[in-house]
Structure 1
């Protein structure tokens, strides 16, 4: 938590707020000003993003943050509607987690390098643990269970093969941001069995590349997987 002192420049405090929070502040201000009264629909995402001068993924994160706090309701296929003032809990906006788009960008950078390192340190036991995680994911999908724990296990097992405990910790920390309120809300809206099936196929491709001990192929497969995951639940 940032400590506020008398000598701290107020402009630096603003910079600590994540971009989606700043965008949410702007949309909230429009609602409070009366531009969009209770029950009204906000402009389409493309138009609102253009009006605010921001990207659509960042706006989408802001709108989901506003939905979590009760300021708006997102109705799939219909639009985003302003909620009654009695339902709003704006204090929640400060503890919703990192930007999912930025999170996936960071994971791509880190885990691509991790996969490359792991391919140079492959062991039969390590590959077996990765395979176990994939098999457990497949069973979760078939049974309609939450796949996230075994998805995490897959990525951690690969990080462990890198032989670098700092990277293992970093991969775990980045992955666990998917459990933040903002990321969880987005995931629950957009992830389903078909998307997890695609993720499983991507995991199997990463395992094949690791088995071949090909650093470039393993890195490429990991980056492609995380980019596809971002497309499925962050960008699309």
Structure 2
């Protein structure tokens, strides 16, 4: 776990700042369980009373939460990014999907450019590791796992850009993507979108990042999301055409 020993006069303040930083940097994620009290106090080099004081402060401010008999967890601070009523609107209006893709194209293109230029070697290793998991899931023909890793891959690029505001904003949006609010990979597959094509596009993104090619990384992101946009638009048009074709058939058949 990414905890360090605290060395300062008011130890509880140091604990608070360290946990705040881990949450802010996205290292501790919403819903993640903290280690048991004894283990955490030993890792951070503080007494259990000091630790309890810090955890109580963080809970009072809504950053941590306690589950009875289960321990202390990072609060789902991302849940407030979109009100439930707005999420319902997103899911029921097609224009939200295309605006979402456009927004992602702009934000992720910038993030990929920054990651290629400013990301550390370890950041790039994380991105590459997620992509290798995508390749493994692809070989196993596990669409659900591929979809989850797809979101993880894109989020790892955001993390590598080291822009804290973008990280938390985009993480909340990816939660909606995972839930199928904006679109589902299965819809794209109906439009002859192949799993191989999507994997190749992610490979191109990863290759540009590993080569530290900012322009190439941004272009690869744009090419991928342009493809997603076109596939979804084509499927939307196909569904509309089928609706009217059914009406025409019913009329001709005298139904």
Equivalent of 1:188, from 186, 189, 192? 186
Equivalent of 2:101, from 96, 100, 104? 104
Q: Distance in 1 between matches of 2:132 and 2:193?
A: 17
2:247: which partner in 1? none
Indicate the RMSD between aligned Cα atoms, in angstroms.
2.7
* Higher-RCO chain (CA-CA 8 Å, sequence separation at least 6): 1
Residues 143/194 of structure 1: CA separation in 2 closer, same or farther (3 Å cut): farther
- For residues 127-142 of structure 1, the aligned pairs below 5 Å read 127-142=124-139
Residues 175/182 of structure 1: CA separation in 2 closer, same or farther (3 Å cut): closer
Moved more, 200-209 or 109-118: 200-209
TM-score by length of 1: 0.53
Residues 235/106 of structure 1: CA separation in 2 closer, same or farther (3 Å cut): farther
Deviations 1:9-36 (A, max 9, x none): xxxxxxxxxxxxxxxxxxxxxxxxxxxx
Count residues with an aligned counterpart: 144
Residues 115/97 of structure 1: CA separation in 2 closer, same or farther (3 Å cut): farther
TM-score by length of 2: 0.50
Q: Distance in 2 between matches of 1:95 and 1:211?
A: 35
1:200 and 2:204 equivalent? no
User: How far is the alpha carbon of 1:212 from its aligned partner?
Assistant: 2.3
Deviations 1:12-69 (A, max 9, x none): xxxxxxxxxxxxxxxxxxxxxxxxxxxxxxxxxxxxxxxxxxxxxxxxxxxxxxxxxx
Q: What residue ranges of structure 2 are gaps of 5+ in the alignment? A: 1-87, 236-255
Q: What residue ranges of structure 1 are gaps of 5+ in the alignment? A: 1-92
Residues 181/135 of structure 1: CA separation in 2 closer, same or farther (3 Å cut): closer
2:159: which partner in 1? 160
Contact 1:97 1:177 in 2 (8 A): no
Contact 2:114 2:161 in 1 (8 A): yes
1:178 and 2:177 equivalent? yes
Residues 155/189 of structure 1: CA separation in 2 closer, same or farther (3 Å cut): closer
2:249: which partner in 1? none
Q: Distance in 2 between matches of 1:181 and 1:218?
A: 26
Residues 194/113 of structure 1: CA separation in 2 closer, same or farther (3 Å cut): same
User: How far is the alpha carbon of 1:142 from its aligned partner?
Assistant: 1.9
Q: Distance in 2 between matches of 1:222 and 1:114?
A: 10
Deviations 1:93-121 (A, max 9, x none): 75726621111111101111111111111
Q: Distance in 2 between matches of 1:221 and 1:155?
A: 12
